[in-house]
Amino acid sequence: MKKRLLLIICLVASAFIVGTSFKAGETANWEFLPLGLNYLQNENFFYTEGEEINQGTIETINYIRIKPEVHYHLYFYSYQDGQFNGGTFEAFDSNKVSLGNIEYGITGESNNIDFITPENAKYIKFSVNVEEDWGNDLNLWNVEINYILADHTVNIRNLTLDDIRYQGPNIDYSPVLSGYNGYYVTNVNTPVDKSAIIAGVKAIDDVDGDISSSITVIEDTYTSNKTKVGTWSILLRATDSSSNSTDFRLYIEVKDYDKPYANGPLTYDVDSTDQYDLAHFLVLADIRDNYDGNMTNKIVVSSDQYTGNEGVRGTHKVVCSATDSSNNRFDFTITVNVTYIDDASPVFTGTFSYNTDKNHPITIATILSNINVNDNVDGDITNKVQVIEDYYSFAPARIGSWRVLLKVTDTSSNSTTQAIIITVSDTIAPSFYLNTQVINIDLTNNVLNVGDFVEILERSRTVRTNCSYKVTYDEYTLNKDKPGEYQVVL
């Protein structure tokens, strides 16, 4: 008798879904998928007659091996004479642990029940109420000639009884795999090491028992490519003491789950005079992907409110997306706020220097009337000029150069100052004067003082009557009893 080497895959990660193999001849048929169309055999069902003789219930005795995530159909072969009246369907995993009831639907004239098996399902059990029309003798208990469980849609009108009969188990001496068995998914950012994957594989021999230590790697396209997106494989081989061997191929899909991202800013404040084109901002956004790198040339613009409005003040939005080679899509919006940034100061024009003599002072009004101030935004703002320094006006006859400092500020707070220089000169030559105001006094009767002199001047109309005066120089008062000439300055 030929020995059979069985390879059992153990669950080591949620992404690694596996099945179990069984020994042909020593294992029930329901542990295998069917050879033919129908999954149902009489030996796996019992029938309970209902309250009416045309009604009953068929119910599984043992499990039925199925495929995960497959759309199944349970047909009533004599669809014109019989119907289903509901039931229950329950799914189980590879360890025959219940995964709960399966939702189903009854279609047609109640002669078709369809359902989808769960992701990790390996077996099902069910109980279904059946009914035949009065006067028929369908032998409702005979499962193989009345009911068909198929893993795809079939036209039962085209089927013969031989087509629908159970054809036996699909026995294979290699591991019995189902669904995603032998399929592993890992992240390109953190790929799982080969040793961790292989650690979940066990080889069981019907004579030697656990021979996992004999597992060898025959082929490995994964290790050198584990940082590359794609599907790679590892071919394993286990050999027993009698040199019987079994190969098992693990498929590892390296996936990129991360969508691209913006490495740069997505909001920009610009001046209306800048006139940048859209490409300028797409480059600055610096869209990158963990796997594909720079994604600037992959940007797709779906809505553009900016192009054509580069110089228009306001907020303009550009809706974009970037999709990497793994179809991870990043949606983003670039916002451009266009404003006018006034950083130009007002400009003075006019006369900024004056030359005059001490007898012809210049007024501030004259200075202001001879200048103009223009701003690139506000226009003529001459009326906003302020005098912030004036070293001239309080003593305009002083000889020298004196400064008057002007300042103006626009509505954007840009300021300009302008100095006005006034040079005062002495242009009058020296003059000779004849002093006609001489008063003679007789010392024999001298009782006059300075006030008397003023009165004499008033009577002579040299000065006006009742004038105010101040003595600035007086040689007379202390010497009035002495003959001589003395000067009094008023």
All structural domains of the chain, each given as residue ranges with its CATH number in brackets, are 5-13+174-255 (2.60.40.10), 29-164 (2.60.40), 261-339 (2.60.40.10), 347-425 (2.60.40.10), 443-489 (no CATH)
Residue 76 CA to residue 83 CA, distance in Å, equals 7
Q: Is the dihedral of CA 152, 157, 158, 163 positive or negative?
A: positive
pLDDT confidence of residue 26: 40
Nearest to 183 by CA among 256, 255, 79: 255
Amino acid at site 83: Q
pLDDT confidence of residue 442: 66
Instruction: Flag residues of the chain having pLDDT under 70.
Output: 1-28, 171-182, 429-438, 441-446
Per residue in 294-309, pLDDT (tens digit) is 999 999 999 999 999 9
Residue 132 CA to residue 282 CA, distance in Å, equals 71
Q: How far is CA 271 from CA 26, 101, 282, 304, in A?
A: 84, 65, 18, 19
Give Cβ neighbours of residue 3 (< 8 Å, ≥ 6 apart): 205, 206, 207, 240, 242, 244
The pTM of this model reads 0.41
Encode 280-322 in three state secondary structure: HHHHHHCEEECCCEECHHHEEEEEECCCCCCCCCEEEEEEEEE
Q: How far is CA 160 from CA 22, 45, 74, 145, in A?
A: 32, 22, 16, 10
Nearest to 77 by CA among 1, 142, 173: 142
pLDDT confidence of residue 37: 92
Amino acid at site 251: Y
Residue 368 CA to residue 26 CA, distance in Å, equals 117
Amino acid at site 330: F
pLDDT confidence of residue 63: 93
pLDDT confidence of residue 443: 66
